[in-house]
Amino acid sequence: METFELKKVIKEIISEFHTKGIPTLFQREVEIPEFSKINKIMVFTGPRRAGKTYLMFEVMGRIISKGAKLTDFLYINFENERISDIKTTQLDLILESYKELYPNSTPVIFLDELQNIVGWEKFVRRLNDSGYRVFVTGSNSKLLSQEIATSLRGRSFTIQVLPLSFREFISIDGTVLPQNWEYGNMKNKVRARFEEYLSLSGFPEVALEKRLDLVDEYFKTTFYRDIIERFKVKNTELMRLLMKYLVRNYGSEFSINSFNNFAKSNGYKTSTSVLHRYVKMLESAYFCNLLNARQKSMKKETGYIKKTYIVDQGFINFYNVDKNPGRLLENIVFNELLQKGERVWYFRNGTECDFITEHACIQVAHELTKENQEREINGLLEASERFGIKKLEILTMDQENELTKNGKKISIIPIWKWLLKS
């Protein structure tokens, strides 16, 4: 597109946003720091449809509350098909276009889904050098990579935006939990909302519309835009098989060799080296996370089989007819730990502990029974002993108790209570 035509399109996009305005928002529990003495490039990264754009709008709302006008914002979504072919050398036209519309204004700049523009870092750095406040979003973990940090020369501050936590999920209809809610009638409402959260999704649009079928579109967009197109994947059917396989085997140990044999037995052309690359692509696109087994030697951890968790339970609920309730709870717990910024591992050495953080050992079971209680407790005790961790928890659907075994206290907590802890 020629310069004149492109500037005209950019002006249309800028003006349309100023006419349309900021949509009605519900507040996310995502901390967005403000720097008073330095100018940081704020980078929001996370999976598609997790709410990064709305978090940008929330930032705009905060700035407006301090006296700014909507026209003080330069907002561009790079997934707008009218500028989908914009080149790196044409990025400067964005600021030029705004300046021609508002010659006396210095905008706060919001650049949405910028990850596919090669060389965007240099453009953003120039804006930062010129004193502009800049907010950027992107739907792949490349925005967190060392190369980006180096390119931005330490000027960026990254905020990871994931699907709604349970606390955020129950707040979207205006529900406010009173103090000591767990001792009154509100407890039943919270329990019912958790059932809804468990069977639905943490993606904001799905939660608001209560339409699980929306995740099918998210899956397809992630597949085509963030994986096939971005990484130029040629064996698309193998990648699709891998994604569906991981969704069906969430919360389980995943072996590249085993899946390689499975794919070959079903007629797919593949190799372990290809699959290693494919798995990294899926992690980069925020589709799944692979969890290391914790060992006494940190260097040994990456060599062990990993467990796989999906970024949101919506994919699990939509694509699986038969769902394992215990593993579904486990997937939610993992994502909550991720939301909180915890370093997480699992442990297996005869016994198993679902999650180990730097300060807690956690088991997840839909229900503690005579058949599984000893196994769950022994896994906690062995992990606690091996890594010197004192806090031991078993998360269940409804049971609540406190046990002492081998001199160690074990808290049994309903998962919906645990998720609402500060």
pLDDT at 208 over 70: yes
pLDDT at 117 over 60: yes
Within-domain flag for 190: yes
- If DSSP codes are grouped into helix, strand and coil, which group holds residue 370? coil
CA dihedral 333, 339, 342, 348 (to 10 degrees): 30
DSSP count for the chain of H helices, then E strands: 17, 14
Q: How far apart are CA 99 and CA 74, in angstroms?
A: 10
If one compares 138 and 407, the residue with the highest pLDDT of the two is 407
Residues 408 and 328 both lie in one domain: yes
Question: What residues make up the domain containing 189?
Answer: 166-207
Name the band, by pLDDT with cuts 50, 70 and 90, for residue 138.
confident
CA dihedral 11, 17, 18, 21 (to 10 degrees): 180
Within-domain flag for 185: yes
Q: How far apart are CA 57 and CA 42, in angstroms?
A: 14
Residues 92 and 178 both lie in one domain: no
Give residue 422's pLDDT: 60
Within-domain flag for 138: yes
Tokens at 78, concatenated: 């790079």
> Of 149, 179, 207, which residue constitutes the final position of a domain?
207
Q: What is the CATH number of the domain that holds 69?
A: 3.40.50
Tokens at 400, concatenated: 């609540």
Q: How far apart are CA 41 and CA 381, in angstroms?
A: 45
Residues 359 and 387 both lie in one domain: yes
Residues 155 and 175 both lie in one domain: no
Residues 171 and 140 both lie in one domain: no
Residues 381 and 418 both lie in one domain: yes
Handedness of CA 55, 61, 67, 69 (dihedral sign): positive
Name the band, by pLDDT with cuts 50, 70 and 90, for residue 35.
confident
- Which among 73, 56, 74, 88 is positioned nearest to 10, based on CA atoms? 74
Q: Looking at mean pLDDT, say which of 29-33, 171-175, 276-280, 292-296 comes out highest.
A: 276-280
Q: How far apart are CA 372 and CA 110, in angstroms?
A: 51
Within-domain flag for 212: no
- Which among 329, 309, 283, 337 is positioned nearest to 46, based on CA atoms? 283
What value does the mean pLDDT take over residues 119-131? 92
Residues 340 and 422 both lie in one domain: yes
> Of 207, 240, 272, which residue constitutes the final position of a domain?
207
pLDDT at 152 over 90: no
pTM of the model as a whole? 0.90
Count of domains for the chain: 3
What value does the mean pLDDT take over residues 12-19? 97
pLDDT at 240 over 70: yes
Residue type, 52: K
Q: For 293-303, what is each residue's pLDDT tens digit?
A: 997 655 555 55
Q: Which helix (H) or strand (E) holds 301?
A: none
Name the band, by pLDDT with cuts 50, 70 and 90, for residue 306.
very high
Tokens at 239, concatenated: 């990648």
Residues 97 and 142 both lie in one domain: yes
Residues 8 and 140 both lie in one domain: yes
Give residue 151's pLDDT: 67
Residues 105 and 192 both lie in one domain: no
Asked whether 388 and 405 are in contact (CB, 8 A), the reply is no
Give residue 296's pLDDT: 61
Within-domain flag for 287: no
Name the band, by pLDDT with cuts 50, 70 and 90, for residue 304.
low
Q: Which helix (H) or strand (E) holds 65?
A: none
> Of 128, 160, 192, which residue constitutes the final position of a domain?
160
Residues 74 and 55 both lie in one domain: yes
What value does the mean pLDDT take over residues 355-382? 96
pLDDT at 360 over 90: yes
Within-domain flag for 23: yes
Residues 203 and 141 both lie in one domain: no
Give residue 146's pLDDT: 56
